[in-house]
Each structure stands twice: as C-alpha cells, then as structure tokens.
Amino acid sequence: MMPSTRKTTAGYVVPFLIYIGMIALPLPPGILFPVRFVLVLSSILYFSRPYLSLKPSQPLASIGVGIAVFLIWIGPDVLFGPSYRHSPIFFSGPQSSLNPTLQHNYVFLTFRVLSSIVTVPILEELFWRGWLMRWLIDQEFLKVPLGTYKAAAFWLVAILFASEHGSYWDVGLLTGVIYNFWVIRTKNLADCILAHSVTNAVLAYYVLAAGQWNYWL
C-alpha cells in the first residue's frame, strides 16, 4: 500500500475504530459518551477532514431518505408491538430499557444526542460506504470512484452494517441497503451523511419524547 493510501485509509477508518474500541472500556455511560464524543470528533478533524465533504448534492432528497429510514426503523415495533423483537431470530430482543438514572442525566443525554447526530453519521459513512464498500472492490480503494456498484461489496457492507445493530439487524439491513443505494445514486458521501444524521436526529427526538429508550441500549 502506498504511503498516500495509508494516510487516506486512516482518515476513513480511524474515527470508526476509536468509536468501536471505546465500547469495551469500563467507563460509566455518563463519562464514556462525553469522552468518546470529544475523541472521535478530534480524530475526524485531525485524520478525516482532508477527505470529508459536507456539501450534499441533493439535500432535500437526502432529508427525505433520512426520514424514510427513521420510519422503517420504528415501523415493526409500532405495527407489531413490543413482543415483536423477542423472537429468537432477534437474539431474544433488548433485555432492558436504558438505566433510569441515565434517563435524567443531562450530560449523558446531551452527548448521546450529539454523538447520534454529529459524529456517528460521519464516522459510519466514512467507514462503511466511503472506505469498505470501495476497498472490497479494490484494496487500492482510491482507484474506485465513490458510489461504484459491485454486488458482492454492496451486500457484504449491508450485512455487516446490519450486524452492528444487534437485535435491530432486520431494520439495520434495510437501512444499509438504502444508504448503499443512496451513495450509488448521488456519488456523494455528504448526501449519505445528511440522510444518516436526519435519521438519527428524528430517532433521538422520538426516544426522548416518547420514552422509547430501547433504541438507545
């Protein structure tokens, strides 16, 4: 791998690795989320900024995609009730709701929302659709134009993205397919970042307004 490619790979991968790696740290959520937000945002600014565009080509359509994904995300639970996700195919579903102490911890809530809306859409889109979807086509991923379609890369990324979401793998798979399609359609990662951010923003509002803490386990 050429040095320039290694440097670029870091810009696409490091924020995701920091985010995932910190999950294993034995820190209470009220500390973990603020610390992780600062570290991930710093890594985005340091490693990813040269490769990151936040100028969507289809902003209104991307907002619409984000809202549609939110509806898909909550749809099964709304239509079929809380017992839906306790089937064995969903790993017996969420085991509990968010700790009641955290539901009133405004430091945690603030950084949980900021993480959902600001850093998570950026780090996940950089990793899944900006890097991995191209790397699976050619390890010299810079040679692969953003939004290039290859069936194996498309579906493997969608499946891995679904697996990241635990008992919500079914809607995670649909979400991965939609975001993958959107980057192929727009050829612009900023459109996927915007759609992802809108999904998470509306979901955060739904969690806080309706007390649906199970989405934040």
pLDDT (tens place) for every residue of the chain, 217 residues total: 444 677 899 999 999 999 999 988 888 988 999 999 999 999 999 999 999 999 999 999 999 999 999 999 999 999 998 788 888 888 755 555 678 888 989 999 999 999 999 999 999 999 999 999 999 999 999 999 999 999 999 999 999 999 999 889 999 999 999 999 999 999 999 999 999 999 999 999 999 999 999 898 7
Please spell the DSSP secondary structure of 139-203, one letter per residue.
Answer: SSGGGSPTT---HHHHHHHHHHHHHTTGGGHHHHHHHHHHHHHHHHHH--HHHHHHHHHHHHHHH
What's the CA gap between 5 and 18, in Å, rounded?
20
What's the CA gap between 2 and 8, in Å, rounded?
10
Residue with tokens 């955290």: 102
What's the CA gap between 135 and 142, in Å, rounded?
8
- The candidate with the shortest Cα–Cα distance to 205, out of 120, 117, 122, is 117
What's the CA gap between 208 and 191, in Å, rounded?
26
Question: With helix as H, strand as E and coil as C, how does 30-78 read?
Answer: HHHHHHHHHHHHHHHHHHHHHHCCCCCCCHHHHHHHHHHHHHHHHHHHH
- pTM of the full predicted structure? 0.94
